[in-house]
Amino acid sequence: MLGADGTTEFVVEMASDVSELKLDALTSLPNRMLFRDRLDTALAAARRHGSLLGVLFLDIDGFKPVNDTLGHSAGDRLLIELAHRLESTLREDETLGRVGGDEFVVLMPEMSHEDDATVLSKRLLEAARGPFELEGSWVTITISIGVMLCKNGSRDAELILGAADAAMYRAKAAGGDGYRVADALPDLS
């Protein structure tokens, strides 16, 4: 701040830590912003190395009845416990994020083979099926998963996320508790 004579009288310094803004407040997983950042980084690496990556979009089948019958605190507890189970199935280089509500995403960078995504999808489905104890009740859930594969980093993050989301809705329409792979493997090389 300048005084009447134009000289500096004092300085105000403001700082804020935005690192917590990139984590989901409930599950402490990467949120949409951080997940998107990691996906962009993985896409750049895929372009450099000509590698394959996968994105899995997950949604809980029938989540609303949990909130309606047991309450929102039980729904929150379910999301936290499910996040732990899902995360325990991943490799160290894979990222699980929560992008909102009961939607999660997984990034599989530098995959060896296209089948790696279906193998992981099956592990995730199995991890979600085990019963959860919520508010003194045992609840069994299932999830639906959409898979999008991208070779050589040839698509942008929003297209990949949108295709994985659409494939997840196809899995839901088929009765849930399953996965669907997006129709095409994009490759512009």
Are the beta carbons of 142 and 175 closer than 8 angstroms?
A: no
54-58, 62-66, 162-166, 183-187: range with lowest mean pLDDT: 183-187
Q: What is the average pLDDT value for the chain, to the nearest integer? A: 90
10-19, 147-156, 170-179: range with lowest mean pLDDT: 10-19
At 71-120, the pLDDT tens digits run 999 999 999 999 999 999 999 999 999 999 999 999 999 899 999 999 99
Q: Which residues contact 95 (CB under 8 A, 6 or more apart)?
A: 30, 35, 38, 106, 107
186/163: higher pLDDT: 163
Positive/negative CA dihedral, 39, 43, 48, 53: positive
CA–CA gap between residue 127 and residue 143 (Å, rounded): 10
CA distances from 33 to 7, 60, 73, 100, 106 (A): 42, 21, 25, 11, 14
Length, in residues, of the chain = 189
pLDDT over 70, % of the chain = 88
The reported pLDDT for the residue numbered 149 is: 95
Amino acid identity for residue 64 in this structure:
K
Residues serving a catalytic function are 102
